Amino acid sequence: MPKEAMFTMKLEPELRDAFMYEADASHRPASQIVRELMREFIERQRQTREYDAFLRAKVDTARAQIESGQYASDADVEIRFAARRAELQAKVPDVDA
């Protein structure tokens, strides 16, 4: 990818000095670090948008299921799983005996 675009920004002198010090300490050019930070920011934003879309779809699906009556109350789930736990515990030999 050609490096033709110029990016200028204003920084506080302390931030610039600290950044330049750390770039020098890592033996990397400041421009390389800025490009890396930009790529990481872009990727993080993309992942956030994807997760938001996934979550929105999941909520929409859940709402549609509730509206169509395809859900169980907390009490129903507790009763069902209490019976399932009892069934599984009955299959396990008593270790304390």
The 10s digit of each residue's pLDDT in 37-47 is 999 999 999 99
In a domain, 4, yes or no: no
Three-class SS state of 72: coil
Q: Which residues contact 29 (CB under 8 A, 6 or more apart)?
A: 23
Mean per-residue pLDDT, 14-40? 97
Other C-beta atoms lying within 10 Å of the C-beta of residue 17: 11
Q: Residue 65 falls within a domain, yes or no?
A: yes
In a domain, 6, yes or no: no
Express each pLDDT in 63-88 by its tens digit: 999 999 998 999 999 999 999 999 99
Give domain status of residue 63, yes or no.
yes
Domain containing 87 equals 13-91
How high does pLDDT run on average in the chain? Answer: 94
22 against 94, higher pLDDT? 22
Q: In total, how many domains does the chain have?
A: 1
Does 83 reside within a domain? Answer: yes
Residue 96 forms part of a structural domain: no
Residue 91 pLDDT more than 70? Answer: yes
The confidence score (pLDDT) of residue 93 equals: 82
Q: State the average pLDDT over residues 27-44.
A: 97
3 within domain boundaries: no
Residue 42 belongs to a domain: yes
